């Protein structure tokens, strides 16, 4: 008896699955914390040169005395240079009566800062102030997130293989424990190198936990509910994105915030010990008695009956046939014209979707205003996005839903360019920025389903896995694109808009999968959509 048929007998999404699905989904909250943590851990802080002789003066007076204006503009001060004066030659009384025009002019020499003073009105401390990641070292902040996303990519691969080898439950416990340990160790990182090393390890562990609960969830839920629950598991990630700015609002110190982020998975580690192993994985490993016991408890909890003569051999036999007759590789996806076209278009869609998603999520500071409110809204907007996209994609199809959401996200970014740096239209800018996030989150939900249906069964794992890898690459290079603001403020919005529209155009060549017989063999895949 095949496993999906067993689930139909004992309940495809009964009380047992609902409870377990909820417990697994909670893991998305700390994953959301870590993925977007750099927004607050590495939050920008206004800064200027620190002059020890001026330490007892107000911030405004310090800048007035020691810091040159930026490009000659009044009330705008350099963040990286100071006047080269003998400050020890003046008394406090003279500083309090300082007449700027009497002491400095356009010919007064300046020098680079050796240390900095930081404005603590938004954050009391971040990576920026703790390690002086400003001026010539400002690029190092975005590199922290790039390294984190590199770890996330590595974790998807490494923990995915571990999960197939030792099981979903053990992998979940290990990854959550590693996330807590590495995040805690990162708090005590005394230099930049250690900081990025531990962020890499945290990223790998967070990816391991989230991918494991996603696979675990899909294995315990019947085919009737699998698509919708696969999308809705992202809701927990969005909840994490909403809780993080609330926590950061009350915890303005990056060390204390890291403690909160590090301790969150501890509760999940504890209850992960008590959840059952995936019965589908147990069957694939030949552990039929353990699987049968779990399925029996599931049926009882769901008030269903387990088939009396339950033979799990068919599932294992099918796995062996698949393993022995197929050696799927990336080459299979690229050897024939139609499959190659589908693969390249899907890879580009995943790459762009991830880049734009993280660009809009991490770039909430680009639109100005209150970073805590903007971040909360950015997370909250994903919830209606995931809820609304399910009936739409089931009605108009995966293809047009993906195209429409990509175009809408791109157009929203273009509108943000026109509204950028126009204080009177700030509210409108926020609205369109959130619209962009709404539509790109919807795109992410669609392409997960779309990719799983487009690739033939024999190379489905390779196809979806390689697409996901493209998404991780988009996520890890996005922080560097975010630095394009040093050339032109809305430059990232221009990049996101152009790439989103090009991804929508490439998606036009993909066939629709709604209500279609999905391809099983490579030959089916080559003929699909023709």
The predicted model scores a pTM of 0.88
Q: Would the pLDDT of 133 be above 80?
A: yes
Q: Per-residue pLDDT averaged across 272-300, rounded? A: 87
Distance (Å, whole) CA 101 – CA 509: 66
Cβ neighbours, 10 Å, residue 308: 5
Q: Tell me the pLDDT of the chain averaged across its residues.
A: 87
Helix (H) or strand (E) holding 82: strand 81-83
What pLDDT is recorded for position 328?
61
What pLDDT is recorded for position 314?
54
Q: Per-residue pLDDT averaged across 1-23, rounded? A: 85
Task: State pLDDT tens for residues 383-407.
Answer: 999 999 999 988 999 899 999 999 9
Distance (Å, whole) CA 53 – CA 61: 12
Instruction: Give the largest CA-CA distance in the chain.
Output: 97
Pairwise pLDDT comparison (306 vs 416), residue with the higher score: 416
Task: State pLDDT tens for residues 345-367.
Answer: 999 999 999 999 999 998 887 88
Task: State pLDDT tens for residues 424-463.
Answer: 888 899 899 999 999 999 998 898 888 878 888 677 767 7
Distance (Å, whole) CA 184 – CA 429: 37
Distance (Å, whole) CA 530 – CA 520: 16
CA distances, 123 to each of 57, 131, 252 (Å): 21, 15, 5
- 119: DSSP letter: -
What pLDDT is recorded for position 216?
87
Residue 247 pLDDT grade (very low, low, confident, very high; cuts 50, 70, 90): very high
Residue 313 pLDDT grade (very low, low, confident, very high; cuts 50, 70, 90): low
Q: Would the pLDDT of 57 be above 90?
A: no
Task: State pLDDT tens for residues 454-482.
Answer: 888 677 767 777 888 898 899 889 888 88
Q: Per-residue pLDDT averaged across 413-422, rounded? A: 90
Domains of the chain, earliest start first: 1-38+134-325 (1.20.1250.20), 47-84+101-119 (no CATH), 328-530 (1.20.1250.20)
Maximum mean pLDDT: which of 42-46, 78-82, 255-259: 255-259
Bridge partners, residue 125, by sequence: 253
Residue 320 pLDDT grade (very low, low, confident, very high; cuts 50, 70, 90): very low
Least confident of 48-57, 281-290, 451-460, 503-512: 451-460
Pairwise pLDDT comparison (198 vs 86), residue with the higher score: 198
Task: Please report, rounded to a whole number, the percentage of residues in the chain having pLDDT higher than 90.
Answer: 45
Burial label, 110 (beta-carbon count in 10 A; 0-12, 13-18, 19+): middle
Structure-token match 């799990």, residue found: 312
What pLDDT is recorded for position 246?
96
Cβ neighbours, 10 Å, residue 156: 21
């Amino acid at each position: 008896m095949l496993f999906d048929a067993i689930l139909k007998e004992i309940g495809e999404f009964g009380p047992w699955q609902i409870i377990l699905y909820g417990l697994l989904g909670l893991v998305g909250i700390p994953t959301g914390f870590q993925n977007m943590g750099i927004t607050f851990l590495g939050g920008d802080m206004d800064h200027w040169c620190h002059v020890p002789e001026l330490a007892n003066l107000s911030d405004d007076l310090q800048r007035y005395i020691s810091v040159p204006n930026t490009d000659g503009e009044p009330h705008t001060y350099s963040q990286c240079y100071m006047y080269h004066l003998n400050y020890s030659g003046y008394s406090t009384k003279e500083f309090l009566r300082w007449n700027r025009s009497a002491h400095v002019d356009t010919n007064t020499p300046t020098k680079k800062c050796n240390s900095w003073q930081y404005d603590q009105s938004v954050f009391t401390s971040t990576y920026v102030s703790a390690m002086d990641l400003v001026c010539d070292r400002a690029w190092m902040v975005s590199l922290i997130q790039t390294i984190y996303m590199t770890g996330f990519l590595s974790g998807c691969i490494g923990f995915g293989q571990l999960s197939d080898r030792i099981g979903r439950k053990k992998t979940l416990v290990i990854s959550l424990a590693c996330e807590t340990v590495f995040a805690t160790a990162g708090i005590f990182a005394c230099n930049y190198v250690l900081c990025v090393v531990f962020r890499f390890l945290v990223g790998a562990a967070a990816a391991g936990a989230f991918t494991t609960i996603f696979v675990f969830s899909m294995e315990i839920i019947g085919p009737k509910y699998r698509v919708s629950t696969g999308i809705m598991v992202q809701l927990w990630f969005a909840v994490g994105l909403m809780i993080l700015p609330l926590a950061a609002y009350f915890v303005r110190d990056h060390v204390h915030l890291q403690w909160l982020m590090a301790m969150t998975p501890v509760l999940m580690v504890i209850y992960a010990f008590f959840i059952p192993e995936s019965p589908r994985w147990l069957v694939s490993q030949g552990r039929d008695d353990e699987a049968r016991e779990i399925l029996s408890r599931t049926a009882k909890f769901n008030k269903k009956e387990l088939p009396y003569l339950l033979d799990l051999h068919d599932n294992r036999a099918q796995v062996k046939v698949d393993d022995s007759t197929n050696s799927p590789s990336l080459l299979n996806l690229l050897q024939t014209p139609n499959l190659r076209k589908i693969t390249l278009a899907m890879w580009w869609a995943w790459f762009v979707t991830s880049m734009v998603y993280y660009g809009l999520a991490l770039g909430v500071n680009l639109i100005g205003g209150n970073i805590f409110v903007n971040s909360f809204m950015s997370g909250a907007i994903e919830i209606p996005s995931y809820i609304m996209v399910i009936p739409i994609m089931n009605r108009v199809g995966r293809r047009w839903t993906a195209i429409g959401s990509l175009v809408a996200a791109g157009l929203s970014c273009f509108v943000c360019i026109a509204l950028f740096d126009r204080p009177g239209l700030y509210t409108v800018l926020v609205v369109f920025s959130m619209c962009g996030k709404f539509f790109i989150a919807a795109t992410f939900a669609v392409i997960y389903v779309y990719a799983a249906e487009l690739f033939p069964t024999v190379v489905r794992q390779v196809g979806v896995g390689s697409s996901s890898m493209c998404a991780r690459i988009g996520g890890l290079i996005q922080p560097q694109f975010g630095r394009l603001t040093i050339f032109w403020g809305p430059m990232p919005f221009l990049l996101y808009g152009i790439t989103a529209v090009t991804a929508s155009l490439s998606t036009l060549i993909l066939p629709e999968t709604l209500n279609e017989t999905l391809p099983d063999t490579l030959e089916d895949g080559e003929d699909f959509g023709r």
